[in-house]
Structure 1
Amino acid sequence: MSGLLDGVRSFLRAEARNVRRYDVPWERRLWLYAHGFLSSKAPLWDLREETVDQYLSDVEYRSVNGLSHYAEGLGNKLLFHLLLAPSHGAVLPTLHGLVREGHLLDTARFDWATTFDDLHDRIRNGSIVAKPITGAQGNGVRILDSDDGAVRIDGTPVPDDELLSRLPDGQDLLLEEHVSAADYASEVFPQSTNTLRLLTMIDPASGTPFVAAASHRFGTAQSGTTDNWSAGGLSAGVDLDTGQLGAAVTSPAGEGRPGTRLARHPDTGARISGVEVPGWERVKATVRDLAGAYGWLWPHVGWDVVVRTDAGEITVLEGDPQSVDPDQQAHGPLLTDERARRFYEHHGVLSNPWRRWT
C-alpha cells in the first residue's frame, strides 16, 4: 500500500505541472485520471476505451522501480560499470577518470587519468564524455575533445587550466570513452551519439530474459550533443523482429506539437523511417545475455546501448531501473505482449485500484 501511495503522490506532483503545460479539455483529463494516466500522454499515446487496458499506466509505472532489488547499481553509473566489468567488460566503454570537487581523483586502483597532462593526452587520442555519476536525462553531460591541441568542451575551446573548473559542479563526474555510433545512426544526426534503448524482462515462469520493447533516440539541434527525448530529441520505435525503425516521435520538450511523427530528421533531412539497425539479431542476443546474467539483481531494465559497427557490435552505456519512458509506449502499448503482461502481473504492478475500478 505504501508503494501505491508513493506512486499517487508522484503522479499528483507531475500532473500539477501538466495542468499548466498541456491544453487538454477537463473532460478528457478526468477520463485519463480515472484510468491512471497523466494528461501529458494525451498527445502521445492512442488512449481510447478500446485500447486503454493495453498500456502500462503512469500510476503503475511509478511502482516499477521497486522491482530491482539493487536499483542503486543502475542509478549510479560507476557502480553499474564496476558490477558489469568482471563478466561483460568487453561491451563497456573505457573509464578514464573521476572528477571530484573540480579535481581528478588520484587512485592507483584503476588505470585512470590522475593528472591534467594525462587527461589531455587521452582527450587528444579520442573524445571523452563527462557525466554525473547519478545524473539522468542527459543533465550535466559534457563532451571533451581537442582541436589542433586545444581542449574543448562541447565544441568550445577552454584554457587548459580551466578545463576541470568549467565542468558542472555539485557531484562527482565520471570520465568515459565517447563512443561513436555506426554510420546508419550518425548519418541521421552526427552531433549526438544516438542510442538504442532495449527494455528487458525476466520471464517469471521460465527464468529466461526477453526484449519487450526497443526505441532509438536521435539528437536534434535543440538537444545538442545528447539524444535524450526529455531534452527535445526524437524517438523512433524499433520492430523487434527486423530491427527496422518506424517514424520518429517528437517529445513534449521539443519544438512544435508533441507526438508529431516524422519520417525524416527535421534538421538534417536524413531518413529515419525504414532504416534498419545493422546486426540486429546480434544486438538483441548481446543484451539478452546481459539481462540474463544480471536478472537476479535487475529483472526489469532499460539498457542504453550504442551500435558501433555494421556487424551489430555494441557498447552498453547504462541501465535504467524504471525503463518505461513515455516515448516507448508512443510506439505501441507494452501490454499487447503477453509476456510483458504476465511479467507485470506476476510482480503485482497491474494490481492497482485504477485497473480494478475500470
Structure 2
Amino acid sequence: MFWRLRQRVSRFCKDFVALPGELWEHGRAARKASGKSLLSQAIEMIALRWGKGRLAPYEYYEYCLFDDRRFSPGQKRAFLGRHMTYDLWELFDSHFWHAIANDKLVAYGLFDALQLPSPKLHALFHPIRRHGPLTAVRDGMQLGQFLREQALFPLVAKPVLGMWGKNVYAIERLERESDELVLTNGQRMAVTDFVVALEPLAKQGWIFQELLKPHPLLLELCGSRICSVRVVTLLDPEPIVISTLWKVAVGNAMADNYWEPGNLVGPIDPETGVVGRLFTGLGLQRRNVSEHPDTGKRLVGITLPDWEQVLELCREGTASLPGLKMQAWDIALTDQGPVMLEVNIIGGVRLPQLVVDAGMNRGPLREMLRKYGYMPS
C-alpha cells in the first residue's frame, strides 16, 4: 500500500512539474481557440490530474478539454488518463495472466488451441527458446543464413515482447545480388544491417510470420498494407464490446499504429461495422480525413468486411481469458477472413476516447469500476 501511494505521488509530482511546459507549448493556442485564460487552464489541469481520471497535462490538450463549448465539467471528468491504466490492471487483472497477452508466442499458441485464426509463424530468433516444430534461429550468423536460404517472403519480423507496433519490419523480398532486404515501404536494408538491428532484442526474441494480405475491398481502398480494427471488451461476466475503431496505415508507415505520422484512426459502429469518420493528428492539430491519402478512395461511410465474424471472434477470445477482465483485440481483415493479431491488456485508453470525443468512465466500464470498488466521479 505504501509503495503504491509513493508511486502515485511520484507520478503526480512529475506531471505537476511538466505542467508549465505544456502550458507554454499549447496554452496560448488553446486560449485563442476557446477563450479560456492560461490561469483557468492550469487550474483545470491540476483538478483533472488530481481527480479520479488522473489526466496528465499533455492529455488535457490532446483531448481539447480546455474547450467548454464541447465538454461539460462532468464530461471532462469522464476522461481517463494513461496513469489509470495501472489502476485498471490492479482492479481487473490477475497478473499471472499477463504473459498470455504480452508474450506473442504464448498468445499464438493459445489462439491455435482455441481455434482462433492467427498468422502463420515461420521462425523464432532466440538464443535458447523453442516453440514446437517452429524453426529456431540462435544467433546472428544463423539469422543471416535463414534470411538468405530459408525465409519464405514476404514476411513480418517483430519482437516477441513488442508493444505499440514498434520495431516491426514488413519485408517484401530479398535482393540476392545486393544482399538487401526490400521492405514494403520501399526502404532497403543490407542483411547484415538487419541482423545488427535485431540482435539487441535477441534475448527477448523475435518471431518471423507471414505477411497477411488485406481483404479485396480494403486492398482497393487502402493499398496492400493491413489496416486492423481494435475491439475493446469487458468480461462481466459475459463478454461486452465497449469500443470499436479502425486504424489505417498511410504513406511509408509499415504498421497502422496511430503514433506513426499521418496514420488515420476513427470509430466503427459496433452494430453495423460502418466507419463513422477518420482523422489524423492530436489536439488542435487534429483534422478530419475522408479519403485515403495514397489511393484517393473514400473511406468514411464504408462497411468493413466480415464484421459479425470479427465481433464473434472477439467475444470468444474474451471469454477464454477470464483472468483479464478488460481486453483490447487487434484483428486484421484479410483475404482469408479476420485474423487475430494480438490481445492487449487493457489496451490503453487513448484511442477509444479520441475516436468518440468522450471519456471511458461511462456505461459498462463505469458500472464495472463501481463493482470492483473504484468509485468514479
| TM-score (normalised: structure 2) | 0.77
Whole-angstrom CA distance in 1 between matches of 2:343 and 2:254: 20
2:100 maps to 1:73: yes
Whole-angstrom CA distance in 2 between matches of 1:166 and 1:43: 33
2:191 maps to 1:178: no
**CA offset digits 1:303-334 (Å, max 9, x no partner):** 11101148xx2111112113134121012235
> Which residue identity lines up with residue 277 of structure 1 in the other structure?
L
1:292-307 matches, within 5 Å, as: 292-294=319-321, 296-307=322-333
1:158-173 matches, within 5 Å, as: 158-159=189-190, 163-167=194-198, 169-171=200-202, 172-173=205-206
> Which residue identity lines up with residue 211 of structure 2 in the other structure?
H
* Aligned equivalent of 1:269: 296
2:45 maps to 1:32: yes
**Cα 1:52–1:158, aligned 2, differ >3 Å: closer, same or farther?**
closer
Whole-angstrom CA distance in 1 between matches of 2:220 and 2:19: 35
Choose which of 87, 104, 117 in structure 2 pairs with 1:91.
117
* Aligned equivalent of 1:100: 126
Q: How far did residue 63 of structure 1 move?
A: 1.3
For the 8 Å contact 2:258–2:265, the answer to whether it is kept is yes
* Aligned equivalent of 2:75: 51
> Which residue identity lines up with residue 320 of structure 1 in the other structure?
N
For structure 1, which segment, 230-239 or 186-195, has the greater mean C-alpha deviation from structure 2 after superposition?
A: 186-195
> Which residue identity lines up with residue 31 of structure 1 in the other structure?
E
2:153 maps to 1:143: no
* Aligned equivalent of 1:152: 181
**CA offset digits 1:98-124 (Å, max 9, x no partner):** 2237xxx68583232546565556644
Q: How far did residue 173 of structure 1 move?
A: 1.5
Whole-angstrom CA distance in 1 between matches of 2:278 and 2:256: 12
**Cα 1:270–1:92, aligned 2, differ >3 Å: closer, same or farther?**
same
**CA offset digits 1:54-75 (Å, max 9, x no partner):** 3334443331233221223212
* Aligned equivalent of 2:348: 324
For the 8 Å contact 2:16–2:46, the answer to whether it is kept is no
**Cα 1:16–1:193, aligned 2, differ >3 Å: closer, same or farther?**
farther
| Partner SS state of residue 323, structure 2 | coil
> Which residue identity lines up with residue 316 of structure 1 in the other structure?
M
For the 8 Å contact 2:228–2:248, the answer to whether it is kept is yes
Choose which of 23, 26, 34 in structure 1 pairs with 2:26.
23
**Cα 1:301–1:4, aligned 2, differ >3 Å: closer, same or farther?**
farther
> Which residue identity lines up with residue 230 of structure 1 in the other structure?
W
| Partner SS state of residue 201, structure 2 | coil
1:273-284 matches, within 5 Å, as: 273-284=300-311
Q: How far did residue 197 of structure 1 move?
A: 0.9
| Partner SS state of residue 278, structure 2 | strand
Whole-angstrom CA distance in 2 between matches of 1:77 and 1:261: 34
**CA offset digits 1:206-228 (Å, max 9, x no partner):** x1001110111112226x11111
* Aligned equivalent of 2:34: none
% of aligned pairs identical? Answer: 18
Decide which structure has greater helix share: 2
Alignment: residue pair count: 337
For the 8 Å contact 2:291–2:300, the answer to whether it is kept is yes
**Cα 1:127–1:238, aligned 2, differ >3 Å: closer, same or farther?**
same
> Which residue identity lines up with residue 345 of structure 2 in the other structure?
P
**CA offset digits 1:201-254 (Å, max 9, x no partner):** 011xxx1001110111112226x11111122222111111111112223234xx
Q: How far did residue 38 of structure 1 move?
A: 2.4
Choose which of 246, 249, 268 in structure 2 pairs with 1:238.
268
| Partner SS state of residue 198, structure 1 | strand
> Which residue identity lines up with residue 199 of structure 1 in the other structure?
V
For the 8 Å contact 1:188–1:268, the answer to whether it is kept is yes
Consecutive unaligned residues of structure 2, counting only runs of 5 or more, are 28-37, 49-53, 65-69
* Aligned equivalent of 2:363: 338
For structure 1, which segment, 296-305 or 63-72, has the greater mean C-alpha deviation from structure 2 after superposition?
A: 63-72
**Cα 1:274–1:202, aligned 2, differ >3 Å: closer, same or farther?**
same
The RMSD of aligned alpha carbons is 3.1
For the 8 Å contact 2:76–2:359, the answer to whether it is kept is no
**CA offset digits 1:175-222 (Å, max 9, x no partner):** 22222221343444436421111101011xxx1001110111112226
For the 8 Å contact 1:43–1:258, the answer to whether it is kept is no
Consecutive unaligned residues of structure 1, counting only runs of 5 or more, are none
For the 8 Å contact 1:60–1:349, the answer to whether it is kept is no
> Which residue identity lines up with residue 20 of structure 1 in the other structure?
G
> Which residue identity lines up with residue 44 of structure 1 in the other structure?
Y
Q: How far did residue 146 of structure 1 move?
A: 1.1
